[in-house]
Amino acid sequence: MKPKILVTRKISDGAEEKLKKEFDVNLNLQDEPIPTDDLIKMGNDYDGLITSGFDKVGEEFFSNLNGKLKIIAHVGVGYDNISIKAAEVKKIKVTNTPNVLNEAVAETTILLILAASRRAGEAYNLVRSDNWKNQKPDLTKFMIGNSVTGKTLGIIGMGRIGRIVAQSAKAFGMKIIYYNRNKLSEDLEDGAKYYSDLNSMLPECDFVSIHTPATPDTKNILNASTIGLLPNHAVVINTSRGSTIDDNALIDALENKKIYGAGLDVFNNEPNLDNRYTKLDNCFVLPHIGSATHETRLAMSMMAVDNIYCFFNNKPLISEVV
């Protein structure tokens, strides 16, 4: 009998076809969200799950399992929506999809840097609202933004994505500094300057971009204290996790012009973000689209399927979390 696999959301067609060849699969072709209570009830009917960041797989989910479920293959690099400790207790394997989305997230980071510094959100809204024609022509004031060329980009978390961002930013003539748990080797640094102390780096940043996972150590890594160290012309960029920023502190800094602006793709409690962000002209926001390219989502879907395949064929998992 083939293992039964539940796919909680629509994944790429190629990945679904591969899955159907090997397993007894329940696909979500209509991409309708499965309510958490229903997912808890369904958990005991399957040998494996393929989940997304939209699914809440917490302690209550695991506490109701009867032993049938063996693996959860998560489509996404971040897995803070899954109770890893509870999965360990139940001896359920959890995998994710790292590295295949690095370039796409880095591209989104560069997009946010440019959009926030050049006031792209304000400019776009001006044209769409048909108010451009009502603006006074003024060479020194009308939609004047900041250049990125020659500016200093501080990167918090110089992992794979952080390094790709650094490489791309250097093409714009930006200077790269970084804060990381450990100093990188000279070849990985590629000319970037290392700071062992975040508080020492922040005053030197024209832009600061976060590229860390969601952990207790990174929660609110940008808070009232650390944001207060930034120059008033600084721009905050986040494509990592919303939990890395204290919303009240960042919003206060933006509202009171303590910093120049922000470009955000991730939020606390998304999609129910703090709606004060949407009212700020100096905050450019996106709906968590960092990995949203056809190529990347296909690669993520295929990696999740491949992890399922490897598990049930007694092969090493590609990207095991626990």
Architecture, CATH, for domain 4-98+294-312: 3-Layer(aba) Sandwich (3.40)
Q: Look at residue 122 in the predicted model and tell me its pLDDT.
A: 97
Q: Look at residue 255 in the predicted model and tell me its pLDDT.
A: 98
Axis crossing angle, helix 13-22 with helix 294-312, rounded to the nearest 10 = 10
Q: Look at residue 190 in the predicted model and tell me its pLDDT.
A: 97
Q: Which of 70, 76, 75 is nearest to 50 (CA)?
A: 75
- Rounded to an integer, what distance in angstroms lies between the CA atom of residue 236 and that of residue 218? 15
Point out the residues that are catalytic: 241, 270, 288
Residue with the two structure tokens 């609110």: 220
The whole-number average pLDDT for the span 134-160 is 96
For residue 137, is pLDDT > 90? no
The whole-number average pLDDT for the span 236-242 is 98
Domain range annotation of the chain:
4-98+294-312, 102-285
Q: Which of 272, 209, 286, 220 is nearest to 249 (CA)?
A: 220
Instruction: Tell me the pLDDT tens digit for each residue of 72-86.
Output: 999 999 999 999 999
**Distance of alpha carbon 55 from its chain centroid, rounded?**
16
For residue 162, is pLDDT > 90? yes
Lay out the sheet containing 283-285: strands in order across.
Answer: 193-195, 175-179, 152-156, 207-210, 235-238, 261-264, 283-285
- Rounded to an integer, what distance in angstroms lies between the CA atom of residue 29 and that of residue 65? 25
Query: pTM of the prediction?
Result: 0.95
Assess whether the region 4-98+294-312 and the region 102-285 belong to the same CATH fold.
yes
pLDDT over 70 percentage in the chain: 100
Axis crossing angle, helix 102-117 with helix 294-312, rounded to the nearest 10 = 150
Residue 240 near residue 157, CB atoms below 8 Å: yes
Q: Look at residue 298 in the predicted model and tell me its pLDDT.
A: 97
CATH superfamily for domain 102-285: NAD(P)-binding Rossmann-like Domain (3.40.50.720)
Rounded to the nearest 5 percent, the helix, strand and coil shares of the chain are 35, 15, 45
Hey, what are 295's tokens?
């190529």
For residue 2, is pLDDT > 90? yes
Q: In whole numbers, what is the pLDDT of the chain averaged over residues?
A: 97
C-alpha angle 187-215-305 in degrees, rounded to nearest 5: 80
Whole-angstrom Cα Rg for the chain: 22
